[in-house]
Each structure stands twice: as structure tokens, then as C-alpha cells.
Amino acid sequence: MGHPEIDNRTPFAFAPLFVADEELRPVLSTIVKATVRITGDGSARLAELQEAVDFAGKHHGEPGQSSVRREPEVAFTKPGTDCVLQGHAMSARPATQVDVGFRLGALTKVARVTGDRRWEPGLLGARMSPPQPFEKLPLLYERAFGGWDRTADKEEHHQCEPQNPIGTGFVAKKGRLVPGAPLPNIEDPRDLLTSQTGRVTPVGFGFTGHDWQPRAKLAGTFDASWQEGRSPRLPKDFDRRFFLAAAPGLSSPTWLLGNESVVVIGATPEGRWEFSLPGIAAPRCDVVLRTGTVQHLETHLDTVIVDADTRTLVLLWRAFTTLRNGPHDVQALTITADRIPPRS
């Protein structure tokens, strides 16, 4: 059976996703993705190049050893809106510390970004070296508290910070203190690292990994009972909030409307960047089934990516429907949208 006919009447990228839900029922998810540039006066313009729907995702470096730049867009639904800030902490002149703030609608996060430091030997134990001045420092989870400690002699004593296994500064219970070890650059200003064996909550603005805590717990319990009585379906305690991939505190429990205000502090040369989301009406997807039935799907804005370096927004809307048999049930798809910004 051939692929469904697609009539995308919007300037945005679109892709159908055929997957299965928790009970292995076939599902069609319709994903619409818009790339928008914010001009100097705060107005929105469609980018000439619309970023394609990305089922594979991208990392900032080696997959599994670096943070996620673009999450794989393979969730058939999200029960809220992920809000992500990407870019750099910036200072107009060299500084040793900058506070970065991100507010989108009712969601707010603040981080203290400090120049490079290392642990140095001192009379009373390890001490922090003075921070190095910087003008630009990447807002990546690699720069936040976390990482692996493999200094213990026995491999079973090697541990990681489960909330950020690719970070820096984590020392396991049976690990060894390493002179010259780097400190995290990005921290919660209310919970700063004060000792080499200290533990603080990792802070970030980007996507989290699917195997990071606390997100991983929402995938459910994969134990012997699941293996014997439910596999290959997802566990009974699977929570769809697992699909929300933004940093803790940056996922809205309800879908955003797309006209919310945005404030970014400390991540642009001028220090403060303000605008509003472009207010694009949620795209509509009409699904024509081979039975002749037409389903009208209203999408929801479930991902907002703010790139402060390029002054670009990426917006994703999704809707889904359960199919009777599978992809061959779908004959055609038509995608429409209103209140589209002008092209840049």
C-alpha cells in the first residue's frame, strides 16, 4: 500500500508519524514545524529555510556523550509544552559571572554562569580557583553539575549524576578527589557548589536525555512482572509526561497558545531580549481514511525552542489519532493554518 497523499497548504514543514501507543495500538501523529525569525523590533518573520521534522534528533557532540541539541521528534503526543532556550551566556565586556534568565509565559528559570574554575590544593582542603573572565560561554548541560566519576578502583563503584550524566563536578561516594578538576560553570544561584564532594541540582535550559532523571522514572517499571505479563507493551505505570523533554521547570503542564511573552536575560549582546510568540493559529490536519471517513485534527503547540544566538524560534504542533489497522488506513492528509507571519 502506498504512502498517503499529503497536501500541505502551509509554509511550514510537515511530517506524518506512524507509531504505536502504550497498548501497541497503531497511531498517526501529525507534526507541523515552523521556523520563525525575530527581528530587531520584536516582530516575527518566517525564515526562508524551514527546519524539517527530525525523527533522528541531533546532539552537540557524540551521541550518548553530549547534550541534546534537537530531541528526536518521535513522540506521538506531549501533554504540555516544552520550552527550551539555546545559546550562550554573554557579557558586553569580560566578566567572571553572568546571571541568565529565561521567562516564557508563566515559566521562569534563572542560572548563575561563572567563568572556568578548578579545584586547587589548600591548607584546609581543596579550594576553588578564581574564575576566569569570559565574554561568551555556551549554555550546555556539559557545563552544569553532573557527569561520571570513574576514579574508583572497582568498576562497580563508578557512578554518575543521574540528572545530568554528561556534566562536570560530580564525585562518587567511593571516588577519588582529583586536583585540578573543573567546577561547573552553570549553577542555581540558590544552590551553589561549595565543596569538591558536594552535591547540587544540575541546572540547564536545553533538552534532557530520555534516560536522565527525573524524566526516566516516568517511563514506568520494567521489572519481571512487566516482562511476564505485559511486554512488549509499555508498563501500566508509563506516564505520558515522559515525552516532555525540556529542563525541569520549563515544561508547561498545559499547552501554550502561541502568543505568550518571552524574556531572555544575559544571553544576547544587549543583555535583555523581549518579544512575544508570533500567535500563529494552531494548524489543522484533515485525515482522509480509506473507508471514506474524514477526521479533523486540531493540533497543539507542544514545543518552543528559542535560539538566542540566531534570534530564531522553532515551534512544533502535534495531534494524533488511533488507527484501526495501521498506516495503510490513511489515504490523504491536508494541513492548513491561519495567522501566518510574513516571510523575512
CA dist 184 and 173 (Å) reads 19
Determine, yes or no, domain membership for 119. yes
Determine, yes or no, domain membership for 224. no
Length of the chain: 344
Look at residues 187, 216, 238 and tell me which one is the last residue of a structural domain. 187
| Secondary structure (DSSP) of 84-128 | EEESEEEEEEEESEEEEEEEETTEEEEEEEE---BEE--TTS-EE
Determine, yes or no, domain membership for 197. no
Do 74 and 136 belong together in one domain? no
pLDDT in tens, 124-175: 778 999 999 999 999 999 999 999 999 999 999 999 999 999 999 999 999 9
Classify residue 130 as exposed, middle or buried by CB count within 10 Å of its CB (0-12, 13-18, 19+): exposed
Count of the separate structural domains present in the chain: 2
Do 69 and 132 belong together in one domain? no
This prediction's pTM: 0.96
Cβ neighbours of residue 109 under 8 Å, at least 6 residues apart?
A: 101, 102, 203, 205, 247, 249, 250
Q: Give 75's pLDDT tier (boundaries 50, 70, 90).
A: very high
Determine, yes or no, domain membership for 175. yes
For residue 44, give Cα distances in angstroms to 64, 81, 103, 269: 35, 20, 18, 20
Determine, yes or no, domain membership for 246. no
Whether the bond into 214 is cis, omega within 30 of 0: yes
Determine, yes or no, domain membership for 127. yes
Q: Give 2's pLDDT tier (boundaries 50, 70, 90).
A: low
Q: Give 19's pLDDT tier (boundaries 50, 70, 90).
A: very high
Q: Which helix (H) or strand (E) holds 284?
A: strand 284-289
Check if the beta carbon of residue 183 is closer than 8 Å to that of residue 196: no
Percentage of the residues of the chain whose pLDDT score is greater than 90: 94
Do 69 and 10 belong together in one domain? yes
Look at residues 168, 187, 206 and tell me which one is the last residue of a structural domain. 187
Domain that holds residue 123: 92-97+111-187
Determine, yes or no, domain membership for 115. yes
Do 123 and 66 belong together in one domain? no
Look at residues 151, 166, 187 and tell me which one is the last residue of a structural domain. 187
Percentage of the residues of the chain whose pLDDT score is greater than 70: 99
- Whether 261 shows a pLDDT value over 60: the answer reads yes
Mean pLDDT value of segment 310-318: 98
The pLDDT score that the predictor gives to residue 3 is 84
Determine, yes or no, domain membership for 265. no
CA dist 163 and 148 (Å) reads 11
